[in-house]
Every structure is written in C-alpha cells, then in structure tokens.
Amino acid sequence: MPLPADTDVSTPKYLRDKYAIVGIGETSYTRGSGKTTRALGTWALRNAIADAGLKPSDIDGMLSYSGNDSTPSTFMAGDIGARLNFYMDCMGGGSSTEALIGIAVGVMEGGLCNCVAIFRAMNGFSQVRIGGTGARSAAPVNGDMLHNRAYGWQSAGQSFAPTFMRHMYEYGTKPEQVAMVKVVHSEHASNNPKAYYKKRFTVDEVVSSRIICKPLHLLDCCVETDNGTAIIVTSAERAKDLRHKSPLIRGIVGRCSKPRLDMHYQHGPISRVAGYYAKDILWPNAGVGPEDIDAVGAYDAFTFTSMLQLEDYGFCKKGEGGEYVSSGITRLGGKRPQNTSGGHLCEAYTHGMNMVIENVRQLRHDVDDYCPIGPDGKRQHTFDYREGGCRQVKNIEVTANLGWANPATGSAMVMRRGF
C-alpha cells in the first residue's frame, strides 16, 4: 500500500524519515550456543556491521538491554574495535528494542554520536532461562516481592495471566481463536530457514498441548533460545551511501505505560494493555494509521500478547482480537501478515529484536526464505507461501512493530521502505 501524504498532526513530525536502520545481524538461533553472551553479542554486531557495509570504526554509539543476563557494551566495543562517543546498557526485556531505537535517534539528533549499534545477547535457554526456571526459581523473596513471588506468581506467563483470563471473561474470547496466533506464526516459520521451530501447528495441537498456567497451554508460550541480535541506526542521509535501500523510521513510542506501574492491576479494565495509550503517540508521530500498515510484528511472548496489542493499537475493535487473528488477515497472503519470521513463538526469543530485524528485511524486499537466489545475489521471490516456500510480503511499503514488556508497558515503531 502506498504511504499516504503527510497528514496535519499536532505532534512534531520533523524526525519522520530522518533516521534509518542500516544494518541487522544475528547469530544462529539455538538451544546450547556453547558461547558466552559476550561472544554472541560480538558476532551479532559484526554481522550487522558487515550487513550495513560499515566498518567497526564507524560505530560510535552503543546501546544494549538485559535482565542481568548479558555482557555490557564496554566489552563489545573492545571486541569490535570501536571507540564510542556514547554508550548505555539498560535494564529491560520486551519493549526495549523500539525504545532503544528511539533513544538512538534522540542521542544522534542531540549530536552526541553519529551511528548507534544496539544489541541483545542472551543464553535464554542454556543460562538464564526466560521462563524463570532453573537457578532463579527459588531465589530469596524480599520486600515488595512478598506481594507476588511469595504466592508462586513469578514467571511472565503467571504475571500476565490475569489480563488474559479477564479478556476471555469480558469478551468471550475462545482458546481456539487465540491458538490461531500460534498456527499462523508457525506457518510463517516454516518458510524461515533460521527459525528454531519450523513445524506447522494446528489449532487442535495448540489447545490439546498441556496447560502451563491457565489460560496458557504450552504452545501458547514462546520458545526459549540462545542468541545474539543487533541493529544499526544512523541518519537517512548517511544511509544513502550504504549497502541497502534502508528502511526509514517513521515514528516511535518507547515504554509507554498504563497507570500504577507499581501494581498495574489496581487500575482497570485490566484487559486493556499499554497500546491503548501508545497508539496516540505512535500513529500521529508516524503520520499513518493501522489501516496503512502492510505487515506487523506483534510481540508474541504468548499468543495472547500479540492479540491484545492488535486490539489496543486499533487493528481491530477492542474485544474482537480473537476474531481478527482467526480471520486470515494475519497470514502471508492475507491483508496484513504478521510475525512473518515466526516471531517469538517459533523463530527465537530475542526480547523483540528478531521482529524488528524481520521487518527491516521485509522492507528491503529481501527476506531470507527458501526462494532461489538470482544472478544479482538477491532471492527471486515466488510469493508462494506454502510450507518451505516464500515469506516475502508483496509490494510491502510500511510496517509496524508492537513491543510488549507486560500488560502495562509497551513500545512501538513504524518503518517505511527506503527511497
């Protein structure tokens, strides 16, 4: 869909299309990387720098995020031989990707540096298990945590479940509808050679997989993997000289929240998520609306997280998420495919990075699927979305990423195809 002409909005729009994502990189998505997070981060950064057509010395800003399960920028900078003019390592998981891209744009706009590399390195399966099992599971409980962890209310799935359950209660959302998120994302993963799980699942397989924490079945939950991922952001001006026709950043909202972040369930309705507030920043800043978006990366730590965000960002009416994700719209070949790499449910768990990386590839019109590579070194996309085939969205111009930290906090970004 062509990008509509700029609309008159009250929010400053002067940063629209002024910055670009010029490089993306990842390690393989594995369980048992056999590498430190330092090595994973370093290799992801090297891949992203090479992808951009930059030299390591071109990187003068670095950002990362973690939950004390990574290696900080100081080591990565040494490993790639970059002298930095700005770096920062933030606490956080999901919703950090878009938020840190926003920080990168801000510090470059402020003149602090010129080219920012963002990385997330994690052994989410073999070291610090993302599901909270292993060493962290019986950790001491102090102070404010007495109100949650002491009750066996600790993992991400357990923490978010009251929102998911209440949504089913209020809107009659059915497990079979929500399961379609997994079904569709697994179809997309089957056309992604680097996806950790490439198998296509059925609704029946999802709803008959064992219950982890009602309303979540095993297959409603994302995969846990080991991986490093990296994204390089610089000005659109600088991007013109680089390797790719780089996607331009249209608008960002970072870690936008509901009230009462100390205990967000105090403020209802709890079936509402942060996108309810974030949409009012994202769409005016980007100058587009949900109807203009060709493909979405909707954070799928769980099937439900994808669906709830689609509602509150306005891709469908509140309460109609179950219908929307079951309608075929979200499939490759549908009106607005989502999580075309397989996302967190199937490709890998990267705390949001792989869904931005995928949309960058989509906007370059060069996703790494099973299509044959032509003489120009680019894949000759067939747009045949059957298993083991293509996953390139045809004529894609505008994408949205909807990042999730928890029901009360989210980030988002709109990108457009580069000139």
Examine the residue annotation and report whether 349 is marked as an active-site residue of this protein. Answer: yes
Q: Which is nearer to another protein, 153 or 370 (CB)?
A: 153
Which of these is catalytic: 29, 87, 277, 299? 299
Q: Is 260 in the site for another protein (CB under 8 A)?
A: yes
Alpha-carbon distance of 242 to 206, in angstroms, equals: 43
Distances (CA, A) of 70 to 19, 60, 201, 259, 351: 27, 20, 32, 30, 12
Using the rule CB under 8 A, which residue among 215, 254, 287, 321 binds another protein?
A: 215
Q: Is 289 in the site for another protein (CB under 8 A)?
A: no
Give the angle subtended at the CA of 22 by the CAs of 20 and 23, to the nearest 5°: 140
81 Cβ neighbours under 8 A, 6+ residues apart: 56, 57
Using the rule CB under 8 A, which residue among 45, 168, 301, 405 binds another protein?
A: 168
Which of these is catalytic: 197, 313, 349, 385? 349
Q: Is 150 in the site for another protein (CB under 8 A)?
A: yes
Q: Which is nearer to another protein, 155 or 186 (CB)?
A: 155
Q: Is 161 in the site for another protein (CB under 8 A)?
A: yes
Alpha-carbon distance of 160 to 166, in angstroms, equals: 10
Binding mask 194-213 for another protein (x = CB under 8 A): -------------x--xxxx
Q: Which is nearer to another protein, 215 or 342 (CB)?
A: 215
| Residue closest to 4 by CA, chosen among 276, 367, 375, 397 | 397
Stretch that binds another protein, among 45-53, 230-238, 266-274, 343-351 (CB under 8 A): 266-274
Stretch that binds another protein, among 43-51, 158-166, 351-359, 397-405 (CB under 8 A): 158-166
Tell me the β-bridge partners of 401: 297, 413
With the C-alpha atoms ordered 382, 383, 385, 390, is the resulting torsion angle positive or negative? positive
Examine the residue annotation and report whether 171 is marked as an active-site residue of this protein. Answer: no
Site for another protein, residues 122 to 141, rule: CB under 8 A: 131-133, 137-141
Q: To the nearest whole angstrom, how small is the minimum distance from the Cβ of residue 175 to another protein?
A: 6
Q: To the nearest whole angstrom, how small is the minimum distance from the Cβ of residue 216 to another protein?
A: 9
Using the rule CB under 8 A, which residue among 35, 149, 185, 379 binds another protein?
A: 149
Element spanning 249, H or E: strand 248-257
Using the rule CB under 8 A, which residue among 166, 198, 243, 365 binds another protein?
A: 166
The separation between the first and the last C-alpha atoms of the chain, rounded to the nearest angstrom, is 15
Site for another protein, residues 328 to 387, rule: CB under 8 A: none
Alpha-carbon distance of 289 to 313, in angstroms, equals: 9
Binding mask 74-113 for another protein (x = CB under 8 A): ----------------------------------------
| Residue closest to 280 by CA, chosen among 95, 165, 410 | 410
Alpha-carbon distance of 52 to 353, in angstroms, equals: 17
The answer to whether the CB of 304 falls within 8 A of the CB of 338 is: no
Q: To the nearest whole angstrom, how small is the minimum distance from the Cβ of residue 213 to another protein?
A: 5
E runs forming strands in 285-359: 295-298
Q: Which is nearer to another protein, 18 or 174 (CB)?
A: 174
Element spanning 410, H or E: strand 409-416
Give the position of tokens 């296509």. Answer: 200
Binding mask 16-55 for another protein (x = CB under 8 A): ----------------------------------------
Q: Which residue numbers are catalytic?
A: 299, 349
| Contacting residues toward another protein, per CB under 8 A | 131-133, 137-144, 146-155, 158, 161-163, 165-166, 168-169, 174-175, 207, 210-215, 259-260, 262-263, 265-270
